[in-house]
């Protein structure tokens, strides 16, 4: 099983596992070996799935402001956790390809493999929830038809993105592209870089 097939398998498994309880505070049950790439893929998608539902909850027009603030802080932390996981997965690829010497004319991709995998993880969530819309019994035929059309596009996108990631990894392994990673350098959570935070510290 290649890396993308493995990712798709684990992402689908994680999404389905979450929806057994369908609760943002449900404990994660990651069955994969600690610190293995499988473990990190499952954790990555679980974080994405919980955040998906936190984003739904915070959009409740009747939510109490104090509860919304707590959710916003939780979403901020989740975003940082997601970024950390992506960078960790890219470290896996850096190690994997560390012994390779790219060709002199090797090019750099617009995004790293792990950020493409991040998009694949989110795509699994879009597909799962669009399928739910297609299966709803409390809506009219036009809603179902519109959602089915969107689902078809999402499934095509998943096929295309899976192929693109596979091609990118193949190109890196053959020296046609360079494995190069830039840290995201997010500033809003850093007390040394966010003026609001370091202003308070004075």
Is 197 within a domain? no
**What does the pLDDT read at residue 193?**
57
60/132 Cα distance (integer angstroms): 19
Is 23 within a domain? yes
116 close to 165: Cβ distance less than 8 angstroms: yes
Average pLDDT over residues 29-42: 97
Helix axes 3-21, 37-58, angle to 10 degrees: 40
**What does the pLDDT read at residue 183?**
72
**What does the pLDDT read at residue 199?**
72
Is 196 within a domain? no
Q: What is the mean pLDDT of the chain?
A: 93
Residue 102 is given by DSSP the state -
Indicate if the alpha-carbon torsion angle 109, 90, 41, 37 is positive or negative.
positive
3-state secondary structure of 100: coil
Residue 27 is given by DSSP the state P
72/191 Cα distance (integer angstroms): 18
Is 195 within a domain? no
Is 66 within a domain? yes
Question: To which H or E segment does residue 177 belong?
Answer: strand 177-178
Is 25 within a domain? yes
Percent of the chain with pLDDT over 90: 86
Domain of 61 in residue numbering reads as: 3-189
Residue 196 has pLDDT above 80, yes or no: no
Average pLDDT over residues 95-103: 92
Structural domains counted in the chain: 1
Is 117 within a domain? yes
Average pLDDT over residues 142-168: 98
């Amino acid at each position: 099983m290649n890396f993308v097939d493995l990712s798709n398998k684990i992402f689908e498994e994680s999404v389905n596992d979450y929806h057994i309880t369908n609760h943002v505070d449900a404990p994660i049950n990651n069955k994969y070996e600690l610190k293995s790439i499988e473990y990190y893929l499952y954790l990555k998608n679980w974080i994405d799935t919980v955040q998906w539902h936190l984003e739904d909850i915070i959009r409740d027009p009747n939510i109490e402001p104090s509860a919304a603030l707590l959710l916003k802080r939780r979403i901020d932390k989740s975003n940082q956790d997601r970024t950390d996981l992506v960078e960790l997965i890219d470290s896996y690829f850096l190690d994997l390809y560390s012994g390779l010497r790219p060709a002199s004319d090797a090019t750099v991709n617009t995004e790293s493999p792990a950020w493409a995998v991040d998009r694949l993880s989110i795509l699994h969530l879009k597909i799962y929830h669009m399928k739910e819309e297609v299966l709803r019994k409390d809506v009219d035929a036009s809603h179902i038809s519109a959602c089915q059309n969107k689902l078809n596009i999402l499934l095509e996108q998943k096929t295309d993105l899976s192929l693109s990631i596979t091609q990118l990894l193949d190109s890196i392994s053959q020296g046609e592209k360079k494995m190069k990673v830039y840290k995201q350098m997010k500033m809003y959570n850093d007390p040394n870089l966010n003026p609001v935070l370091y202003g308070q510290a004075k």
